[in-house]
Structure 1
């Protein structure tokens, strides 16, 4: 993921080439509806309108696919509407058959979620060792990554599973089909959610540029990744100006304005990169030099691939954001104070928000929210306070006298 215009697709291609060059079987997939993957690789990826293009082998060990999420949405809806048309004569106030699949194009997040579901199926295929996904711009991607957990949370609150099971029991065939369709969707979404937070299988790489204005945004994305439970493998700083002087050769004085500008601009970039390294903690920072003309095609991208490779042993050092620790800090009985600690590198402390919904704590920061299931002892407590201690959020609880066991 990355900011628009930072060359995220180019770097995704270069990374895929690097991994294939190392002997891995790589699938490079795009769920970005801009479909710039073919443009970057300078290849044509033809497919019939309304269908998803098949997998194309580009070189030894490297396959590519562009996923048409709109075609997926229409195809899946046709299947569901067919299921719901069963049991005709049982009217529950919803005429699903009267909707055309094309009408669903504006359904927020549906296309992107289906794209992720398709990626999960590809990731489970033994044909590849790794699947690299070229996502949309950062804001859209973060919203997409948050959608599985949000959708499952809303579904459980609006129509809990135990009520769905009860509704499916009986002679009402259409209701049983509705429940079956809902369960199938929920299961598919849960598989996507589980893969996203599986740190042994899934990681994200952020593409940015060496500009001062991107520092705060990159730090916010680190915070958002932690809240989403996502492993942030690395930050790739693109279009870094290469040095003018060879290593070990003293810098020469040159009065030409272009040379002075170049040295000044490179110095500014290096300062931004140094600040970025301090802000990102243990997340590796990788630089990709400015190549002049945009690298297009296998040959040019192959040359760029050498600069964006990340040592797998150094790409997972950021702390697991899903680990939540609970401890008794002081007191006994109703005077007890419990502390819950979770990794949360908040970029803007003023954006931190906390809420309580039944047995869950709602944590929000830097534009992202996460539901955290409370430990059993904390469910009988009330929140006494919260503070940030470095990269950790500490929430303190005290027993609720009305439900605390005596």
Structure 2
């Protein structure tokens, strides 16, 4: 599987340009690069970079046509009429699914060392990358293990009715969706998949970056580097330009303190939009690096000290007021800002009750007290 680098950041930060520059730098270093984007590669595709276009409209029409073909018998039994391709207009969410399918195909691309993906803005990117795991959970919840019994009855019911049964079509579709989602989830969660953030230093970008990085941490998606884009030149005699540079440097100092383990690359403002591939060479970006990885969610055993187990969940720059957690059976619902995630508890914590939580130094520590009815006596 090739390395995958997802380029995202606050809206208007220059994500597509940085994606092109990243691909160009990797190609110059001798890597075989595939660029995945829904945009036209302007100022042009760099030498040595192959292109995979994401066409959500075409993807949507193809998927609906295939769905109608597989369900033709059921549609006919219900008196429905298939939709023609010319009637189809993509629905909300089609862009996200098209991007995820393109991501899976790119990860399976032969003769590729690096896949660079031009992602949507940061908030949408986080929700898109979280979709496969969330939808698989929904499918498992809505179509539980009892479907095995229905599967055994399908041939008999279909023979009596003379047509495929709706349940058969539903379970087969759910199984196919689960396999496709599992393949995408494997790419998203692979250690070879990392995220390069792009932001233009300033208050608005800082707020968006903080919230987005929180969502990435909640879903355990690793940040490879942060690109500070469109930096004003230092030492300008123009007070206006000097003021912009000073504000950017103040923001950069905060980012360096907030993300001490994440490399920060600085890109100077060209003074214009890139006009041709040669302009990309002026944007000196580092080659993709492995970085520090995703901070582990560790279980700390403090039974000898105060009789509890502590689950440490790193959530950098989180605020206490925006956090929430709810225990539901063997799962924990975690909410951080606009993001939510439901995670299965480690086996040791399933035999405990939640007895408190505290946020300190960017780590949420959830306290679990062992349930004496479920823990063996010593």
Q: What band does the TM-score fall into relative to the shorter chain?
A: 0.7 to 0.9
2:5 corresponding residue in structure 1: none
* 1:67 lines up with 2:54 in the alignment: yes
> What's the offset of the Cα at 1:89?
7.4
> What's the offset of the Cα at 1:303?
2.3
Gaps of 5+ in 2: 1-7, 159-163
Match of 2:119 among 131, 135, 155: 135
* 1:228 lines up with 2:212 in the alignment: no
CA-to-aligned-CA distance 1:250-271 (integer Å, 9 cap, x gap): xxxx6xxxx2222232122111
* Equivalent residue runs for 1:7-26 within 5 Å: 7-26=14-33
Match of 2:303 among 307, 330, 333: 330
Pair 1:342–1:292, CA change in 2 (3 A): same
* Equivalent residue runs for 1:186-335 within 5 Å: 186-199=178-191, 201-244=192-235, 259-304=238-283, 306=284, 308-310=285-287, 312=289, 315-317=290-292, 319-321=293-295, 323-330=296-303
8 Å CA contact 1:2–1:208 kept in 2: the answer is: yes
Match of 1:387 among 349, 358, 366: 358
Q: Give the aligned length.
A: 360
**Higher RCO (CA-CA < 8 Å; seq separation 6+):** 2
Distance in 2 between the 1:222 and 1:59 partners? 30
1:105 corresponding residue in structure 2: 90
SS of 1:274's equivalent in the other structure is helix
8 Å CA contact 2:10–2:209 kept in 1: the answer is: no
* 1:5 lines up with 2:12 in the alignment: yes
Q: Given the two structures, how large is their TM-score scaled by the length of structure 2?
A: 0.87
> What's the offset of the Cα at 1:83?
1.3
Distance in 1 between the 2:89 and 2:347 partners? 41
> What's the offset of the Cα at 1:205?
1.1
Distance in 2 between the 1:383 and 1:374 partners? 11
8 Å CA contact 1:210–1:237 kept in 2: the answer is: yes
Q: Given the two structures, how large is their TM-score scaled by the length of structure 1?
A: 0.81
Of 162-171 and 272-281, deviating more is 162-171
> What's the offset of the Cα at 1:404?
5.3
Distance in 1 between the 2:83 and 2:359 partners? 49
Aligned Cα root-mean-square deviation (Å): 2.5
* 1:81 lines up with 2:68 in the alignment: yes
CA-to-aligned-CA distance 1:147-203 (integer Å, 9 cap, x gap): 11211111111112x23333222223333333222111111111111211212x101
CA-to-aligned-CA distance 1:3-47 (integer Å, 9 cap, x gap): 22221111111111000000001111114xxx2x33x224xxxxx
Gaps of 5+ in 1: 43-57, 246-253
Distance in 2 between the 1:303 and 1:386 partners? 48
SS of 1:295's equivalent in the other structure is coil
8 Å CA contact 2:300–2:309 kept in 1: the answer is: yes
Pair 1:166–1:41, CA change in 2 (3 A): farther
Pair 1:67–1:237, CA change in 2 (3 A): same
8 Å CA contact 1:216–1:347 kept in 2: the answer is: no
Of 284-293 and 210-219, deviating more is 210-219
8 Å CA contact 2:211–2:337 kept in 1: the answer is: yes
1:368 corresponding residue in structure 2: 339
> What's the offset of the Cα at 1:353?
0.9
* 1:166 lines up with 2:158 in the alignment: no
